[in-house]
Structure 1
Amino acid sequence: MTQAHQLSPSSPASSASSASPTGRARLMDGTGLARRILAETALRAAALTARTGTAPCLATVLVGADPASVTYVRMKRNRCREAGIASRQVELPAGTTTAELVRTLTELSDDPGVHGILLQHPMGEHIDERAAFEAIVPEKDVDGVTLGSYSAMSFGLPGFQSCTPGGIMRLLDAYDVDPAGRRAVVVGRSAILGKPVGMLLLGRDATVTYCHSRTRDLSAEVRRADIVVAAVGRPELIRGEDIKPGAVVVDAGYNPGNVGDVHFDSAVERAGLITPVPGGVGPMTIATLLEQTVTGAERRSER
Structure 2
Amino acid sequence: MIAPSPRWQERAMPDFRMIDIGDVRLRVAVEGAGPLVLMVHGFPESWYSWRHQLGPVGRAGFTAAAIDVRGYGGSDKPRPVAAYAMEHLVADIAAVAAVLQPERPAILVGHDWGAPMVWNSALVHPEQFRAVAALSVPYAGVPSRPFTETFRAAFTAKGRFFYQEWFQMEGPPEAEAERDVRDFLRKFYYAISGDAPPGTWPEKPAGATLLDGMIDPGTFPAWLTPADLEYYVGEFEASGFRGPINRYRNHERDFAWLQPYRERRIEQPALFIGGGKDPATTLFGAVSDPVALMKPLVPRVEGHVLEGCGHWTQQERPAEVNRLLLDWLARL
Which TM-score bucket, shorter chain as reference? Answer: under 0.3
Give the TM-score, by structure 2 length: 0.25
